[in-house]
Amino acid sequence: MIPVAYWLRESVRIEPAGAGRRRVVSEAPLTVLTINHAAAELLEVTRRGASVADLAAAFDADQERIFLLCERFRRRGILQVRRAPVDAGFSPTVTVIVPTQDRVDDLDDCLQALSRLDHPRDRLEVIVVDDGSTDPSAVADVVARHDARLLTNECNHGAPYSRNRAARVAAGEILAFIDSDCVPGRGWLGELIPYFCWDKVGAVGGRTVNYYTGSRLDRYEEVSSPLDMGKDLIIQARGQSTFYVPTCNLLVRRSTYEDLGGLREDLLVGEDVDFCWRLRANGLYLVYAPEGLVRHKHRDRLGAMLRRRAEYGTSEATLYSLHRDKRKRFPVSPAPAATVGLFSTALLTRKVQLLLPCLLPPLADCVRRGLKLRREAIGAPARAVCVSVARGHLSMVYFVFFHLVRYYLAPLAAAGLFVPGIRLLAATAVLYSGGVDYVTRRPRMTYPVYLAYYVAEHAAYQAGVMAGCVRSRTFRCYLLGRSGTR
C-alpha cells in the first residue's frame, strides 16, 4: 500500500481541448496542460481527495503507476499531497539509536521524551551508545533511569561507527536514529512509521526544528537551519537530485540498512547524505514527512555554529566524488537566462543604461506566452501571465546569485578589491539573495541583522567547501548540471 492521498487545488479548472482531450489550467502557479480523458477523470476524482490505493482500485491500475502520475501533476502545481490513513494494526518493532558524548543533561531530556512516545512500549527498544565520554559513569546513570540499553565505546569513534554498532545488535524491524541533543514529539514514531506500509520505502525522515528560540542566533537558526528540510512532503527514489534527510531524525528499515552496509564510518560529516543517496540509487524511496517533528538544541554560540557550517562544507568534495552522477542543477530557460546575463553585465560594467535592456527578455516572454494562450483560446488573465513570467525570471536571478554567494563570495570579494564591477556584482548578489530569503522565511529580526548572519554562515560554509576540495584534490563539487527547461 502507498500511504499517500492527493487532492486537486481549488484554483485548477479542467476544460475541453478538442479531439477527446482535456486541458488543465491553473492560474497560480500558471500552468496549462493537455491531457487525455483518463487522466482528466483521475483529476476529477481527486477534487474531494483520494488515496493512491483508492485511485488504483477505481481505475484498475498499479498503485505505483498512479503515484508517479500524481507526482507529475503535483510538481506542476496541479495536485496537493498528504499522508493517507493506514491499517491501525501496522505497528512494527522499533529500535531507537542515540549516540552521545559528554551531553548528560541533553541525553536526559532526549530519553525522557522517548519514554513518552505513543508507540507501544513492548514494541520499542532504546539503545544509547556512549562514544568516549569523559565521564562514562554519568552517562550510565542517566541511561539506567530510563529503561534503555547502553553500549560504551572506550574512545571516540564518531557517530557513524556508534550507529552501526547499535544497529548490529538492534532487535527492531525499524531503526530510528536521533541525536542526544534532540527532543522528539510524542507522535514522532507514529507520524513516520505509516510510510513503511509501502514496501519500496527504505527510509523516512521527519522535520527537525529549533529547541531554543530566545537569542538572535536562535531566531536565525529558526529559519536557516540546514537540518530543517521544510514544510512539504517529499518522496524520491532514483534521480539526479541531491535530496537527503539528516540522521538526527531518520527511520530506516533494518533490512535496508543491512543491505546497504550501514553508514560509512570514514565520513564524520556528510555520512547521512551518502547513505540517502546510496539508498535512492538502489531504487528505494526516501520519504521526508514534515509532521514527524524533532526539536534540536543547536549550537547557541556564533563561533560554534560557524565551525559546524564549515565542517558540513568539507564533506562536499568527498560526496560528489563518491556519487559522480550528482551535480548542482539549475532550472534553466533561455529567456530568464538572458535576463540574468544582461543584469550581470550591467553590474560588471557599472553602466546604468544597460539596466533597461534587462526588461526585454521578460517582456518578450510575456508577449510570447500571452499569444500562445490566445491561440489556444485559454482564458488566463494578463496579470496572471505577467506574474508567472516575473516570478520565473526573478527566480532565475535568485538561483544564480545565491550560488555565487554560497560558493564564490570569497574570490569575488578578493577580485572586487581590484575590479569595482565585480564588487558591485558581489554586493548585489548578497543583498538580493539575502533579501529574497528574508522575505520568504520571515525571520524574527531586522534585515541588517539577518544579513550579517547570512553572510557569515555562507562564508563559513564556503571556506569548508574549499578546504575539503584542497584536501581531497578535487573540485568536482563545483561542476554544474542542467535540470531542464520550464
Per-residue pLDDT of the chain (486 residues; tens, 9 = 90+): 999 999 999 989 998 887 778 999 988 778 889 999 999 999 999 999 999 999 999 999 999 999 999 999 999 999 999 999 988 788 999 999 999 999 999 999 999 999 999 999 999 999 999 999 999 999 999 999 998 999 999 999 999 999 999 999 999 999 999 999 999 999 999 999 999 999 999 999 999 999 998 899 999 999 999 999 999 999 999 988 999 999 999 999 999 999 999 999 999 899 999 999 999 999 999 999 999 999 999 988 999 999 999 999 999 999 999 999 898 887 778 999 999 999 999 999 999 998 999 999 999 999 998 888 888 778 778 888 999 999 999 999 999 999 999 999 999 999 999 999 999 999 999 999 999 999 999 999 999 999 999 999 999 999 999 999 999 999 999 988 766 433
In our burial notation (b when 16+ CB lie closer than 10 A, e otherwise), range 137-158 reads: ebbeebbeeeebebbebeeebb
Non-local (6+) Cβ contacts of 269 within 8 A are 311, 312, 314, 315
Residue ranges, comma separated, of all CATH 3.90.930.60 domains in the chain are 4-83
Give residue 88's pLDDT: 77
**Does pTM surpass 0.75?**
yes
Q: Closest Cα to residue 445, out of 210, 217, 211?
A: 217
In our burial notation (b when 16+ CB lie closer than 10 A, e otherwise), range 50-67 reads: bbbbebbeebeeebeebb
Q: Which CATH class, in words, describes the domain spanning 4-83?
A: alpha beta
Residue 357 vs residues 99, 327, 341, 361: alpha-carbon distances, Å: 57, 32, 11, 8
Residue with cell 524533532: 294
Handedness of CA 411, 412, 413, 415 (dihedral sign): positive
Give residue 485's pLDDT: 38
Residue with cell 530569503: 437
Q: Which CATH class, in words, describes the domain spanning 94-299?
A: alpha beta
What single-letter amino acid sits at 22?
Answer: R
Backbone angles phi, psi at 201, to 5 degrees: -85, 120
